[in-house]
């Protein structure tokens, strides 16, 4: 199934893209997408402990199950204000 | 969005609008309005900052703002808050965020206003890309997790000094 991956902050610099489309095996979780992405772009791997995740623009857990067409976003530690 | 209470985007922030928004509903019920304005500081960690570029995941930021607003209502049921965050390239001195909090008495208004900025820094999906003399760096603070009870407790504690 196809998912859209969005990266923010320094993650997009490290991966060289802010939006990626990927074909993944179902069933899939956000964690699985992260691991595949980190294998593709090892520079993002150190963020495994500090990244947070959103699915379809709502806060989610890494264990969240993904559906066809979902948008999964990986967020490095935030710095608004 | 039609509700201008919570907003994020590239437009300049109008503090007067935020004050109007919190005072429009039942104006006689509020005896206090507290505002907070966050601006771009020209120094950070010994670096001379030239500008900040704010990036946000806007739909998720609005979700976070709504969660924060609901938490304010739980802690201070009589308080009403409005807050806007700006995105894009901001010069030193520009306003990046503004908050207005209204309540019948001043204590709740001060606390609600402080709570919003503390929580916003913890959970809003917004990132500062700092440009300074000699380089640039992404600023990274808290891992955003609105369900982290200890972070929420810390924000509440700071708001009730």
> Rounded to whole angstroms, what are the CA distances from B76 to A4, B47, B155?
39, 39, 14
Taking 70 as the pLDDT cut, the residues of chain B under it are 1-2
Question: How many Å lie between the alpha carbon of B25 and the closest alpha carbon of chain A?
Answer: 27
The alpha-carbon radius of gyration of chain A (Å, integer) is 12
Q: For residue range A37-72, what is the model confidence (pLDDT) as tens digits? A: 999 999 999 999 999 999 999 999 999 999 999 999
Q: Is the dihedral of CA B21, B13, B116, B4 positive or negative?
A: positive
What letter does residue A49 receive in the DSSP assignment?
G
Tell me whether A58 touches chain B (CB under 8 Å): yes
What digits encode the pLDDT tens for the residues B141-150?
999 999 999 9
Indicate which of B125, B126, B131 best probes the interface with A, i.e. most A CBs within 10 Å of its own CB.
B125
- Quick check: pTM over 0.90? yes
Domains annotated on chain A, with CATH: 2-75 (3.10.20.30)
Complete domains list, chain B, with CATH: 6-159 (3.90.1170.40)
The overall average pLDDT reported for chain B is: 96
Select from B63, B127, B139 the Cβ nearest to the Cβ of A8. Answer: B127
Query: Are B146 and A59 in contact, with CB atoms under 8 Å apart?
Result: yes
Alpha helix stretches (DSSP H) within B7-161: 15-24, 58-75, 106-123, 149-159
Across the interface, of B96, B117, B126, the residue whose CB is closest to A78 is: B126
Q: How far is CA A68 from CA A34, A46, A59, in A?
A: 16, 28, 18
């Amino acid at each position: 199934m196809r998912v859209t991956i969005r990266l923010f902050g320094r993650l997009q610099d490290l991966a060289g893209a802010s939006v990626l489309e990927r074909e993944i095996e179902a069933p899939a979780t956000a964690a699985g997408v992260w691991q595949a992405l980190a294998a593709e772009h090892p520079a993002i791997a150190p963020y495994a402990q500090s990244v947070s995740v959103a699915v379809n623009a709502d806060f989610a857990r890494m264990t969240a199950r993904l559906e066809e067409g979902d948008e999964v976003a990986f967020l490095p530690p935030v710095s608004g204000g | 969005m039609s509700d201008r209470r919570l907003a994020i985007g590239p437009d300049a922030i109008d503090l007067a609008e935020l004050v109007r928004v919190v005072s429009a509903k039942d104006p006689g019920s509020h005896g206090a309005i507290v505002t907070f304005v966050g601006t771009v500081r020209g120094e950070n960690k010994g670096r001379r900052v030239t500008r900040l570029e704010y990036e946000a995941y806007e739909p998720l930021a609005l979700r976070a703002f709504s969660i924060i607003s609901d938490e304010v209502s739980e802690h201070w049921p009589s308080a009403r808050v409005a807050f806007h965050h700006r995105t894009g390239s901001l010069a030193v001195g520009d306003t990046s965020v503004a908050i207005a909090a209204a309540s019948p008495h001043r204590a709740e208004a001060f606390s609600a206003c402080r709570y919003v900025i503390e929580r916003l820094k913890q959970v809003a999906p917004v990132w500062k890309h700092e440009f300074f003399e000699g380089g640039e760096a992404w600023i990274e603070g808290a891992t955003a997790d609105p369900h982290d009870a200890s972070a929420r407790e810390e924000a509440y504690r700071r708001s009730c000094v």
